[in-house]
Amino acid sequence: MNVKWIKAASIIFLACSTFSCATYYQINSEFNQSFEQGNLEAAERVLNSNKQAAKKKAQFLYFANQGVVNSMLGNLEESNEWLEKAYLFGEDYQKNYASIAASFLVNPNTIVYPGEDHEHLLLLYYKALNFLKMKDYESALVECRRLVNRQNELSDKYKSDNKYKEDAFVHNLMGIIYEASGEINNAFIAYRNAYNIYEGDYKRLFGLDAPNQLKQDLLRAAHLNGFYTELDFYERKFNMKYSPAASQELVFFWHNGLGPVKSEWSINFTAVDGGDGFVTFVNDEHNFSFPYAISGPDQKSQLTDLRLFRVAFPKYEERKPYFQRAVLETNQTRYPLELAEDVNAIAFKTLEERMMQELAKGLLRAATKKAVEMAIRGPQGDSGEKKTEEERREEAIREGLSLMVGIFNASTEKADTRNWQTIPHDIYYSRVPLNTGENTVTLKTISSSGATSTQDFSFTAAKGETLFHSFQSLEYKR
C-alpha cells in the first residue's frame, strides 16, 4: 500500500472527525444563543425550521426544548403536548441492539438519546406547572403522581445507599396543590413527606434544608386538620408558630439560571495480564481497575502489547447563575424566594450514580475497537523470516488498513455530550398574599455584586383563589 495514500487518507479521516468533536451544545449554537438571550420567538423558529430533528437520535431533546420554549411563551397546552411526547418516548424507548453494537465500534452518539433520569422527572414537573397555570389542579396532581412513580422506577436501577431516590420538591408541590384544591389531609401528608426527605436525603446529598415556607405550610395543614399534637410537636421542632393563610394567594416559582451542559473528559488505561482469561484495564491516578474477558492468548497478547488505551467519558460543566437571590414585593411587603430544588446538583448526582457503568462501557468500546484493529492487522511473523513479494505486499496492505482503522478509532472516540440544556439551575418558590381583584407583584433579582433587576407582574385574584406563576432568569456567569 502506498505510504502517501495512507497519509492522505489519514488526513481525510481526521478532517471528517473534526465536526464530531463538537459538543451537542456547540452543534445547536443557533438555538442556544436565541434562547439564552431570551429571544424565545427566534428560538421557536429555529426548532420549527429543524423538524428533521424530531425524527433523529436526539428527538427526546427536541420534544423537551419545544415544551420549555412553548411554556415560556404562554402556549401551555402546546407545551404539554410536546412534554408528553418526550415523556412517552422515554417510557417506550426500546433498546436497538444493532445500534448499541455499532456504538462499540464508533461512539455512544450513534444510538438514540433516551434522556437522563432527572430529565424524565423535570418533564412531568413542567407539565404539572402548566396545568396549575391553567387552574387544572387534578391534572397537575396526576403529573405529580406519575413523577413519584417514575422516580421509584429509576431509583431501582442503582444499588448504592447514597443515591438520589426521592424528590422532596415534588412532595412539596403535591402538598401545595392538595391545599389549593381543598384536600387538607392529603396536603398534610405530602408536606410531612417533603420535610422528611429534605431533612434526610436532601441535607445529606445536596446540603439543602427544608424551606421555611414548607415548615409554615406543614404547621397550617396540621392546624386545619385538627392535628394539634402534631402541630405542637412541629412548632417546638421548628421554633415557629402557626399563622393562618391569606384568603387569596400567589405561589410563585422562580427558575434561576440554566442547568449544566455536558462536555467530555478522557483518561488513559493500561492493559495488564489479569490471568484466568482476563485482561485488566488499570488507571492508577483514579484508582480504576476493570477486568475484560478475552477470547484467547493471541488477543491477550495483542491487548497487553498495546499498553495504553484512551477512553472518553461525559462530564457536566456547571453554568453558575448570575443572580444569587430574589424577593417578591407587593403592598410594600417583601417575601423572600427560597431554594426548593437544586437541579444542577441533582444532574451531577445522577451522572455520578451511573459513572461506573459509563467506565465499563467505555472500556468495552475501546477493547472492541482494538480487537477489530488487531484482527485486520493479522498475526505478525518473525521479522527475520524470509517472505515472498506477495506476502510482503499483503502484510503491508493489512498494516495500512490497521493503521487506518486505528486513526478512525482515535478520531471517533467521543463521549455522549447530549443533554437537556434549557432546564434551570435552581428552582425557588414563595407564597404571596393577594387582594381580591387586581394585584401588582414585583420580582427583584439580586446578583452577588448587589446589582438588581426587576420585573412586574399583574394578577387578578378571585376570593379564596390560589394562583400559580413561574419566571425564568436565563442569565449565568460565562
Rounded to an integer, what distance in angstroms lies between the CA atom of residue 337 and that of residue 321? 15
Rg from Cα positions in the chain: 28
DSSP state of 210: P
- Grid coordinates standing for 53? 430533528
Closest CA to 105 of 365, 415, 378: 365
Helix (H) or strand (E) holding 360: helix 355-377
Which pLDDT score is estimated for 327?
Answer: 98
Rounded to an integer, what distance in angstroms lies between the CA atom of residue 277 and that of residue 240? 65
Which pLDDT score is estimated for 4?
Answer: 47
Rounded to an integer, what distance in angstroms lies between the CA atom of residue 39 and that of residue 54? 22
Rounded to an integer, what distance in angstroms lies between the CA atom of residue 393 and that of residue 114? 47
Residue 249 pairs with which residues in a beta bridge?
433, 466
Helix then strand then coil, % of the chain, to nearest 5: 50, 20, 25
- Grid coordinates standing for 240? 415557629
Mark the ranges of the chain whose per-residue pLDDT is less than 50: 1-19, 97-98, 102-104, 300, 304-307
Pairing of strands 248-256, 466-473: parallel
Rounded to an integer, what distance in angstroms lies between the CA atom of residue 436 and that of residue 248? 7
What is the length of the chain? 478
Q: Which amino acid is at 471?
A: F
Which pLDDT score is estimated for 83?
Answer: 97
Distances (CA, A) of 148 to 144, 179, 391: 6, 18, 66
Dump the DSSP string for 25-71.
HHHTHHHHHHHHTT-HHHHHHHHHTTGGGGGSTTHHHHHHHHHHHHH
Rounded to an integer, what distance in angstroms lies between the CA atom of residue 431 and that of residue 250? 6
pTM of this prediction exceeds 0.85: no
- Grid coordinates standing for 382? 518473525
Dump the DSSP string for 111-158.
S-----HHHHHHHHHHHHHHHHHTT-HHHHHHHHHHHHHHHHHHHTT-
CA angle (221, 222, 228) in 5-degree steps: 155
Rounded to an integer, what distance in angstroms lies between the CA atom of residue 156 and that of residue 164? 11
Closest CA to 128 of 150, 154, 157, 156: 150
Q: What is the pLDDT of residues 247-267, one digit of tens each?
A: 899 999 999 999 999 998 877
State CA 409 to chain mean position distance.
Answer: 28
Q: What is the pLDDT of residues 12-71, one digit of tens each?
A: 444 444 445 577 788 788 999 999 999 999 999 999 998 777 777 889 999 999 999 999
Rounded to an integer, what distance in angstroms lies between the CA atom of residue 422 and that of residue 429? 19
Q: What is the pLDDT of residues 182-225, one digit of tens each?
A: 999 999 999 999 999 999 999 999 999 999 999 999 999 999 99
Which pLDDT score is estimated for 385?
Answer: 62
End-to-end C-alpha distance for the chain, whole angstroms: 50
The 3-state DSSP class for residue 333 equals strand
The neighbour count for residue 374, using CB atoms within 10 Å, is 21
Which pLDDT score is estimated for 284?
Answer: 67
Instruction: Kindly report each contact of residues 89-97 with a partner whose C-beta sits within 8 Å and lies 24 or more positions away, as own/partner.
Output: 89/59, 89/60, 89/63, 89/114, 89/115, 90/60, 90/114, 90/115, 90/119, 90/120, 90/123
Closest CA to 361 of 294, 308, 313, 405: 313
Query: Angle formed by the axes of helices 184-197 and 212-224, to 10°?
Result: 150
The 3-state DSSP class for residue 375 equals helix
